[in-house]
Structure 1
Amino acid sequence: MEEIVLWKDKSDAQRDAIIEQLVGNDSTHSCPECGTNAHCDIAAGKETCWCFDIETRDLPKPEAGQLCLCRKCLEKKPVA
């Protein structure tokens, strides 16, 4: 949600980078559930990730080294 609220404060370059992530052109890995391109801000070197700002989902505890889901797969999971 924070991503949407802060959109107005982003530069054109920052907005373009976010759009590239959303459409899968800038990815860090493939989603382990559907295989499409996914982006993890942590894997990209940031201290936080976009998924930290959404409602907590009911997911099993991840195994060591498990990659995160893409936005579409994550949004399909039930809210915890």
Structure 2
Amino acid sequence: MATDVTTLSKARRNLEHLCDDVCKRHEPLIITRKNGRHVVLLSLEDYRHFTGEQEPTSKELDSLYTDLEREEDA
């Protein structure tokens, strides 16, 4: 499994596509940053698998989404 790498600037421009690709392929994406504090983009499904956390219900995710939307509008 070859992990893909991109810069933060490129990730910003292509975030929706990158998220779709990470979820579809079930492979993480490393995002490099100038300050050396690099991050990994990983699907929620894969994150839950690696950490052993239980999958949230659809209702829990809908509630979380609503709460986040409310925060953005505030």
Q: Rg: which structure is higher?
A: 2
TM over 0.5: no
Q: TM-score, normalised by structure 1?
A: 0.23
Which has the larger helix fraction?
A: 2
Which has the larger strand fraction?
A: 2
